[in-house]
């Protein structure tokens, strides 16, 4: 059973967080699971969304993946990166989304929260990710608790996810149990690691030249 590299990162700027995620995709040669935090109550926009949707007066960043606006004031965020040769890359986007959410659901359950994975998208129209459950999102009592967005490139898969549980005071517990519960449910092995020198260098370039710039964040 191949090991996944586990990265656990503390608070960082919106630009830094998105730069690391893309750097992991660009340099990918093994599966990676990353948990990270935000150093400010930022908002992230999906790649195709207009900058005007961002909350005025709050920092925001444009993601490399699509999807809707996400408020990162009280959520738990994770990223999954797979190389092109990984077996999960043979799955369709919806099937891989559902599989990954099985692992996320197990992590939420480890915090004592019962959820379900919805099979049909909500008819609600909204630019905000958590106001519009889509197929295979995680919900509890009619409220969306977790959603994600993906991007596939010639290098592999980038899956960026956000979890918003009812009581944010449990976020520390969720971060603590996430990797083990996720890996156990999906029969994986995770090994704690660090960014490589190539990933660190690539992230610095992407942060400076892309994610910290108005040209990127206000491109639409």
Q: Give me the active site residues, please.
A: 129
Taking CA atoms, 108 is separated from 29, 120, 137, in Å, by 29, 21, 13
Taking CA atoms, 212 is separated from 13, 72, 113, 196, 203, in Å, by 9, 17, 36, 22, 11
Q: How far apart are CA 177 and CA 192, in angstroms?
A: 14
- For residue 133 the two structure tokens come to 């459950």
Count of other CB atoms within 10 angstroms of residue 72:
22
């Amino acid at each position: 059973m191949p090991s996944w590299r586990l990265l656990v990162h503390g608070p960082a700027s919106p630009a830094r967080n998105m730069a690391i995620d893309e750097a992991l995709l660009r340099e990918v040669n093994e599966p990676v699971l990353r948990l990270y935090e935000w150093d400010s109550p930022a908002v992230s926009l999906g790649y195709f969304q207009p900058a005007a949707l961002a909350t005025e007066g709050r920092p925001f960043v444009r993601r490399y993946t699509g999807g809707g606006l996400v408020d990162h004031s009280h959520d738990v965020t994770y990223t999954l990166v797979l190389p092109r040769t990984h077996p999960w890359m043979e799955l369709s986007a919806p099937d891989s989304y559902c599989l990954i959410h099985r692992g996320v659901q197990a992590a939420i359950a480890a915090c004592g929260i019962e959820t379900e994975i919805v099979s049909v998208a909500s008819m609600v129209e909204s630019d905000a990710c958590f106001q519009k459950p889509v197929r295979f999102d995680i919900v509890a009592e009619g409220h969306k608790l977790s959603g994600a967005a993906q991007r596939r490139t010639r290098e592999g898969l980038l899956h960026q996810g956000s979890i918003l549980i009812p009581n944010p005071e449990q976020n520390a517990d969720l971060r603590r149990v996430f990797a083990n519960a996720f890996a156990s449910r999906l029969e994986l092995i995770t090994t704690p690691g660090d960014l490589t020198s190539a990933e660190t260098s690539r992230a610095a370039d992407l942060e400076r030249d892309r994610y910290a710039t108005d040209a990127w964040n206000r491109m639409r």
